[in-house]
Structure 1
Amino acid sequence: MTIPISDLEGATDEVVDTLAQRGIRDNVQLIKAAATPALRKELARLCGCENADILHLANRSDLARVRGISGVYSDLLEIAGVVTVKELASRRADQLFAKINETNERDKLTTKPPTQSMVQNWIAQAKALPPILSY
């Protein structure tokens, strides 16, 4: 799924503008531009931010490749301890579903949490996605 960088949690106007000046406007373009630690370091330098900020945006961008994960669902996953596609692919659906519900009950992020079948589908998609980011 392709989403604008401005829709990613943590994307400041300055970073969005700097990336746009380099032709990087959506999550797929960002993943490719931030695929390696060296590329992320250079993007952070160009954007005037920390490497961790670019890594956070790259991970959010990568998770957005999974159909159905964006916005509040991305937030739920992050708070539940899943920040990468690789981590998502390694999870058990029943345990992750329980953790997401526990997280949502505590933090009240959405009135419509994902169903267990949605979580199962996300995990299946994550397993099928080719890796792009290296760490």
Structure 2
Amino acid sequence: TDTDGLLEAGCSKEGRKDCADKSGCSESQILKWVNMCDLFRIKGVGEEYSELLEVSGVDTVKELRNRVPENLTAKMEEVNAEKNLVRRVPTLKEVTAWIEHAKELSPKVTH
């Protein structure tokens, strides 16, 4: 399945349980993947940046929309300096655009 399909199938707790049962993966692993797919809806966020966001404390569009751009950018710089997850940390301008885009999207993942 593609990322949109996984997001649709796993956006609810029941859906994640079903995906876990069918795949043999744990529900927590399915949730991690679903959250990454949720962040992929943001223009400019791919696999690397979704992982950096997750390690920085943001794993869904719903969480991203409530962040302060300056604080999140600083946190991602700190995390990347420690863990070296991406070659280039996103700029404040990029992070601000992500947050604005997140505010325009309706939440998909429920817990």
TM-score by length of 2: 0.94
| 4+ residue segments displaced more than 4 Å | none
Question: Once the 2 structures are TM-superposed, how far is the Cα of residue 109 of structure 1 from its aligned partner?
Answer: 2.1
Does residue 113 of structure 1 match 2:89?
yes
Match for residue 59 of structure 2 among 83, 92, 112: 83
| Aligned pairs for 1:4-83 within 5 A | 25-83=1-59
Gaps in structure 1 of 5+ consecutive residues = 1-24
- 1:10-41 Cα offsets, whole Å, 9 max, x none, are xxxxxxxxxxxxxxx21111111112101110
Match for residue 74 of structure 2 among 98, 101, 109: 98
Give the partner amino acid of 2:47.
Answer: G
1:34, 1:111 → 2: CA distance?
30
- Which is greater in Rg? 1
Structure 1 residues 111 and 43: alpha-carbon distance in aligned structure 2, compared to 1, 3 A threshold? closer
Q: Which moved more, 1:62-71 or 1:107-116?
A: 107-116
Secondary structure, aligned partner of 1:110? coil
Gaps in structure 2 of 5+ consecutive residues = none
2:87, 2:34 → 1: CA distance?
27
Match of 1:7 in 2: none
1:34, 1:45 → 2: CA distance?
12
Higher relative CO (Cα under 8 Å, sequence separation at least 6) belongs to 2
Secondary structure, aligned partner of 2:101? helix
Give the partner amino acid of 2:71.
Answer: Q
Give the partner amino acid of 1:82.
Answer: V
Give the partner amino acid of 1:74.
Answer: S
TM-score by length of 1: 0.78
- 1:75-115 Cα offsets, whole Å, 9 max, x none, are 21111111111111110001000000111111122232100
Question: Once the 2 structures are TM-superposed, how far is the Cα of residue 71 of structure 1 from its aligned partner?
Answer: 2.1
